[in-house]
């Protein structure tokens, strides 16, 4: 039989893609779920649903360290995690593509699939093709043309267990979290940053993954996401350093980074050049930022620029359009 490796998020599109691909292509489906920090219970539930829906095997691959180190920090330095927070989901596409290609090699599969409705125009699709042009890439959600109601009907007819969001429980859980976040007293948190990267919380130096987790607990209790808190603190420190130097020293790398993501060109010299430019400027961005967290709001309380943040001339690797 044909074997198809499916990038399986556990959402409705990838859930119904398992029986749809199996029927259309007479194929065995290998589900691959990427662990970006969703939590053990969530990932186990997603894996169990993939197997119950008909997947031959369901891999869960832990890429949390690589995602935080090689993707989130780069996005933080480029200013992509604040107002552009939806970009965080697209940031995972290069890593998802790389993992799916690796699993396809292990499973000896020549076909992979994903659930992005944009099909071949999606950044995930483009990155997979760039990494391995020999693979056949399928995007069922871009082919079937099903409305949400039709997808739900298909799932019911094929006995597909749907995510919690479609049971009505997800909405009630979100409402409960919102209510709890609106009560209590504000919290203050100090975030230490060195050369543009976060290194500590409340005076405690810790590995990046632990830092994001700890900040998520503190900020999440007040309705603020950890990535929003990190970008807010980074931007405040960046502005303070720039004001000290008397001129705007940060390169305009946000839009070029987004373009690299959209075009599936993450694993190219173009992205490496962007990294070099951002890193050159971020050498100055060191200090501690105090944030006030309350009722879903994240405000800057105080910024202490490190003595090491001495203004100097920055020479960029290249000029970006």
Q: What is the pLDDT of residues 28-67, one digit of tens each?
A: 999 999 999 888 999 999 999 999 999 999 999 999 999 9
What is the rounded distance in angstroms from the CA atom of residue 212 to the CA atom of residue 166?
29
For residues 74-86, average pLDDT: 73
Q: Which helix (H) or strand (E) element contains residue 5?
A: strand 2-7
Is the pLDDT at 201 greater than 70? The verdict is yes
- 3 state SS of 305: strand
Supply angle C-alpha 98, 101, 102, rounded to 5: 85
> Residue 37 has what pLDDT?
87
Residue 310 inside a domain? The answer is: no
**What whole-number distance in Å separates Cα of residue 313 and Cα of residue 302?**
26
Contact 251, 263 (CB under 8 A): no
Q: pLDDT grade, residue 284 (50/70/90)?
A: confident
**Quick one: 220 and 95 in the same domain?**
no
Whether residue 10 sits in one domain with residue 158? yes
Do 139 and 219 belong to one domain?
no
225-264 b/e with 16+ CB inside 10 Å = b? Answer: bbbbbbbbbbbbbbebbbeebeeebbbebbebbbebbeeb
Give pLDDT, residue 86.
59
Structural domain ending residue among the three candidates 167, 199, 218: 167
Q: In this structure, are 225 and 86 located in the same domain?
A: no
Residue length of the chain: 321
Residues 199 and 100 in one domain: no
Are 15 and 41 within 8 A, CB to CB? Answer: no
Question: Quick one: pLDDT at residue 47?
Answer: 95
Same domain, 27 and 160: yes
Query: Does any domain span residue 75?
Result: yes
Among 40, 272, 17, which Cα is nearest to 138's? Answer: 17
In a shared domain, residues 93 and 7: yes
Domain containing 103 — which CATH number? 3.40.50.620
Residue 279 binned pLDDT confidence (cut-offs 50, 70, 90): confident
My answer on whether 296 and 198 are in the same domain is yes
Task: Dump pLDDT digits (tens) for 137-196.
Answer: 999 999 998 899 999 999 999 989 887 665 444 444 444 444 445 457 899 999 999 999
Q: What is the pLDDT of residue 150?
A: 94
Kindly state whether residues 78 and 16 are assigned to the same domain. yes
pLDDT confidence of 136, banded at 50, 70, 90? very high
CATH number at residue 235: 3.90.1260.10
Q: How far apart are CA 215 and CA 309, in angstroms?
A: 24
Would you call 204 helix, strand, or coil by DSSP? strand
Q: What is the pLDDT of residue 315?
A: 36
Hey, is 44 helix, strand or coil? helix
CA distances from 94 to 8, 50, 63, 67 (A): 15, 22, 12, 10
Concatenated DSSP letters of 15-36: HHHHHHHHHHHTEEEEEEEEES
**292 and 243 share a domain?**
yes
Tokens of 133: 């042009």
Q: Both 40 and 142 in a single domain?
A: yes
Indicate the SS3 state at residue 188.
strand
- Rounded mean pLDDT of 194-202? 95
Within a domain: 192: yes
> pLDDT > 70: what percent of the chain?
84
- How confident is the model at residue 173, as a pLDDT? 42
Structural domain count of the chain: 2
Position 121 in a domain = yes
Mean pLDDT computed over 108-133: 95
* Domain assignment present for 38: yes
Print the domain residue range for 225: 176-249+284-305
Q: For position 174, what pLDDT does the model report?
A: 46
Q: In the listed set 167, 192, 217, which residue is the last one of a domain according to the structure?
A: 167
**pLDDT at residue 166, rounded to an integer:** 59
- The H or E element spanning position 294 is strand 287-294
Strand partners, 31: 6, 58
Q: Are residues 10 and 50 in the same domain?
A: yes
Burial 152-169 (b: 16+ CB within 10 A, else e): bebbeebebebbeebeee
Which of these, 73, 69, 294, lies nearest to 193 by C-alpha position?
73
């Amino acid at each position: 039989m044909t074997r198809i490796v499916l990038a399986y998020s556990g959402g409705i599109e990838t859930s119904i893609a398992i029986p749809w691909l199996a029927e259309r292509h007479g194929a065995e489906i290998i589900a691959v779920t990427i662990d970006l920090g969703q939590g053990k219970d969530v990932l186990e539930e997603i894996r169990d649903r993939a197997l119950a829906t008909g997947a031959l095997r369901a891999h869960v691959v832990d890429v949390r360290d690589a995602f935080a180190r090689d993707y989130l920090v780069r996005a933080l330095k480029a200013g992509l995690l604040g107002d552009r927070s939806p970009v965080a989901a697209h940031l995972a596409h290069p890593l998802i593509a790389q993992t799916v290609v690796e699993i396809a090699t292990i499973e000896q599969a020549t076909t992979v699939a994903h659930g992005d409705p944009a099909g071949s125009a999606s950044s995930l699709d483009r990155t997979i093709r760039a990494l391995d042009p020999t693979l056949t890439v399928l995007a069922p959600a871009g082919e079937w043309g099903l409305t949400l109601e039709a997808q739900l009907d298909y799932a019911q007819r094929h006995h597909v267990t749907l995510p919690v969001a479609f049971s009505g429980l997800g909405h009630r859980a979100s409402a409960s979290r919102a209510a709890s976040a609106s009560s209590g007293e504000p919290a203050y948190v100090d975030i230490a940053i060195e050369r543009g990267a976060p290194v500590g919380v409340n005076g405690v130096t810790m590995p990046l993954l632990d830092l994001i987790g700890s900040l998520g607990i503190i900020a999440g209790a007040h309705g603020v996401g950890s990535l929003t808190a990190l970008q807010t603190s980074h931007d405040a420190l960046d502005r303070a350093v720039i004001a000290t130097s008397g001129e705007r020293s940060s390169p305009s790398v946000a839009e070029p980074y987004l373009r690299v993501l959209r075009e599936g060109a993450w694993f190219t010299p173009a992205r490496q050049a962007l990294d070099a430019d951002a890193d050159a400027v971020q050498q100055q961005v060191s200090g501690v930022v105090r944030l006030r967290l309350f009722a879903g709001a994240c405000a800057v309380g105080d910024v202490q620029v490190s003595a090491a943040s001495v203004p100097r001339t920055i020479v960029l690797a290249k000029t970006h359009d």
